[in-house]
């Protein structure tokens, strides 16, 4: 059967031959219609991520992905997981250190709605909870996710009270406490799902919340009763998270009491004159020297400058309470205006663009990764909403006659030089640019800050699972994954800055 032009039948169902009686299934082949899709070029890694996700969500289903554009790829890759979403949790946690060995796997069915949950706690301070309905990733959660989260908090508190782990005078554990270090996959199969929004990012069926709560609570209560050692380890981690939250609340209240006048008093933030967040932007720059040039070269109406003194705290290895004790991080929180943690409010963001402007060297890259780790962990909606950018300062300046040209890398350098006539090329002067602090205000404005001339790279989180894995690998406590990453990628290093 063949369809064209948005689903119209071009050829009806018909017999084309005999099938192998030992094989069953349906083969679907398709080509993108250029009148409907923006591009007909497929990204293999994007398809691979989705195919692998489908294999995790459908236990025992075998999916093969082959790229026929690659003439050497004759077999492709096959994805099949007998453990289903339990293996999905193990895949996400492969670079983390679990605090209990077994993955908790719960499932049940009520009123024709099937639920399946797999979860495991690790030593990190961040939660990774992903929910799906009929294999669709519900990025914004919904009633199925709300029901599971509500039951998780209630069941842990009830168990902790009954077993005297939480004393009478202790306050209950909150949602964020019991989610710290949790990796969880929630899969719901519903015969008539009602999604909210065009992207189907949130499940809206009201009856699902209580069903999800009931199914999860029954299974999780049984697990805690049957595994008291694991139960105590999980609850003790939540108690440590609660203690850190209470300490963070005190530090956060102190931060909330400070204001931009206080920030300016310490000489850190040079704010822009405009109070309109839709046209305002903030440059986070490396060091006072670059900060001085940036302040002189900026458009003071719309561009704010925040110089960092040294490298900020690696928040991949720190809870919120410790992060809030760091002066540089407190200044960033105050400057952004969104608050943090339970007080976070994206609508209060004071700048449309948050631009990381560091040198094009190893130290600059390290500072950029530290800032991205901070944003991804504590300001993730800012990244997801497309407010974070990396400035692209040029590596080379080319002078010939009265012409001055800046290029970002060696490839652009070679292309530009090859475009020049031989008599001009031979007299051209090429200079490798020094750090941002070595540029004067005019040069910094022309190359990196001028809205009409600069090059910015938007930082996005297309795949949160992959982003979490790379942050954990490069910035986490475990050394072995980082060593393995270096060993596997060191051969591809062409320019080493020592």
Does residue 460 sit in helix, strand or coil? coil
C-alpha distances in Å from residue 20, one per residue of 2, 62, 80, 346: 22, 18, 22, 57
Given the residues 286, 328, 443, 446, the one annotated as active site? 286
Cβ neighbour number for residue 171 with a 10 Å cutoff: 10
- The answer to whether 332 and 350 have CB atoms below 8 angstroms apart is no
Pairing of strands 353-357, 281-286: parallel
259 part of the active site: no
Instruction: Enumerate residues 6+ apart whose C-beta is below 8 A from 225.
Output: 159, 231
Cβ neighbour number for residue 86 with a 10 Å cutoff: 22
Given the residues 116, 359, 446, 472, the one annotated as active site? 359
CA dihedral of residues 54, 55, 56, 58 (deg, nearest 10): 80
Given the residues 67, 140, 146, 363, the one annotated as active site? 363
Q: Can you name the residues that pair with 107 across neighbouring β-strands?
A: 116
359 part of the active site: yes
271 part of the active site: no
Task: Kindly tell me the number of DSSP H helices and DSSP E strands found in the chain.
Answer: 17, 19
> Using only C-alpha atoms, what is the Rg of the chain?
27
Question: Exposed, middle or buried, 61 (CB in 10 Å: 0-12/13-18/19+)?
Answer: middle
What is the residue-wise DSSP string for 244-275?
HHHHHHHHHHHHHH--HHHHHHTT--B--S--
468 part of the active site: no
Straight-line distance from the first to the last Cα atom of the chain, in angstroms, rounded to the nearest whole number: 61
Does residue 468 sit in helix, strand or coil? helix
Pairing of strands 128-133, 182-189: parallel
What are the structure tokens assigned to 218, written together?
């029954």
Quote the DSSP letter at residue 449: I
What are the structure tokens assigned to 351, written together?
């700048």
By C-alpha distance, which of 385, 373, 270, 358 is closest to 326? 373
Question: What does the alpha-carbon distance between residue 284 and residue 260 come to, in Å, rounded to a whole number?
Answer: 16
CA dihedral of residues 239, 242, 248, 249 (deg, nearest 10): -150
- The dihedral through the CA atoms of 94, 96, 101, 107 has a sign that is negative
- The dihedral through the CA atoms of 178, 180, 182, 186 has a sign that is positive
Given the residues 102, 361, 410, 414, the one annotated as active site? 361
By C-alpha distance, which of 462, 308, 463 is closest to 374? 308
What are the structure tokens assigned to 384, written together?
């997801």
Instruction: Enumerate residues 6+ apart whose C-beta is below 8 A from 337.
Output: 348, 349, 350
Q: Which residues are catalytic?
A: 286, 359, 361, 363
């Amino acid at each position: 059967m063949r369809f064209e032009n948005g689903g119209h039948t071009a050829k009806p169902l018909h017999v084309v031959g005999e099938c192998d009686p030992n094989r069953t299934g349906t083969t679907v082949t398709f080509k993108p219609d250029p009148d409907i899709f923006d591009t007909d070029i497929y990204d293999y890694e994007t398809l691979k991520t989705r195919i692998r996700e489908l294999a995790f969500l459908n236990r025992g289903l075998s999916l093969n992905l082959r790229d026929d554009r690659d003439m050497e790829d004759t077999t492709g890759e096959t994805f099949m997981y007998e453990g289903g979403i339990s293996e999905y949790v193990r895949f996400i946690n492969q670079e983390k250190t679990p605090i209990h060995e077994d993955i908790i796997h719960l499932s049940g069915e009520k009123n024709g709605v099937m639920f399946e949950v797999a979860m495991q706690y690790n030593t990190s301070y961040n939660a990774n909870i992903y929910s799906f309905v009929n294999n669709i990733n519900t990025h914004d959660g919904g009633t199925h996710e709300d029901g599971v989260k509500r039951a998780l908090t209630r069941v842990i508190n009830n168990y902790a009270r009954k077993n005297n782990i939480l004393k009478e005078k202790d306050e209950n554990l909150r949602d964020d406490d019991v989610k710290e270090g949790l990796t969880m996959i929630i899969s719901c199969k519903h015969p008539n799902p009602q999604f909210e929004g065009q992207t189907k990012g949130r499940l809206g069926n009201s009856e699902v919340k209580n069903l999800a709560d009931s199914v999860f609570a029954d299974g999780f209560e049984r697990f805690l009763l049957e595994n008291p050692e694991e139960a105590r380890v999980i609850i003790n981690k939540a108690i440590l998270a609660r203690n850190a939250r209470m300490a963070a609340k005190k530090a956060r209240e102190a931060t909330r009491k400070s204001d931009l006048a206080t920030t300016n008093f310490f000489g850190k933030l040079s704010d822009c004159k405009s109070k309109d967040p839709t046209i305002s932007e903030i440059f986070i720059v490396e060091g006072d020297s670059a900060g001085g040039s940036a302040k002189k070269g900026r458009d003071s109406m719309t561009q704010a400058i925040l110089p960092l003194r040294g490298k900020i705290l690696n928040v991949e290895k720190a809870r919120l309470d410790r992060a809030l004790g760091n002066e540089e991080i407190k200044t960033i929180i105050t400057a952004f205006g969104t608050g943090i943690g339970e007080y976070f409010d994206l609508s209060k963001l004071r700048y449309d663009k948050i631009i990381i402007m560091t040198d094009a060297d190893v130290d600059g890259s390290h500072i950029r990764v530290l800032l991205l780790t901070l944003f991804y962990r504590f300001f993730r909606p800012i990244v997801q909403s497309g407010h974070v950018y990396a400035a692209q300062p040029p590596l080379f300046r080319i002078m010939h006659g009265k012409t001055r040209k800046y290029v970002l890398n060696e490839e652009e350098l070679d292309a530009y030089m090859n475009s020049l006539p031989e008599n001009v090329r031979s007299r051209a002067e090429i200079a490798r640019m020094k750090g941002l602090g070595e540029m004067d205000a005019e040069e910094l404005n022309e190359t990196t800050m001028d809205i009409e001339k600069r090059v910015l790279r938007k930082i996005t989180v297309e795949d949160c699972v992959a982003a979490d894995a790379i942050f954990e690998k490069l910035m986490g406590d475990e050394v072995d994954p980082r060593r393995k990453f270096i060993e596997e990628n060191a051969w591809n290093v062409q320019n080493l800055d020592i």
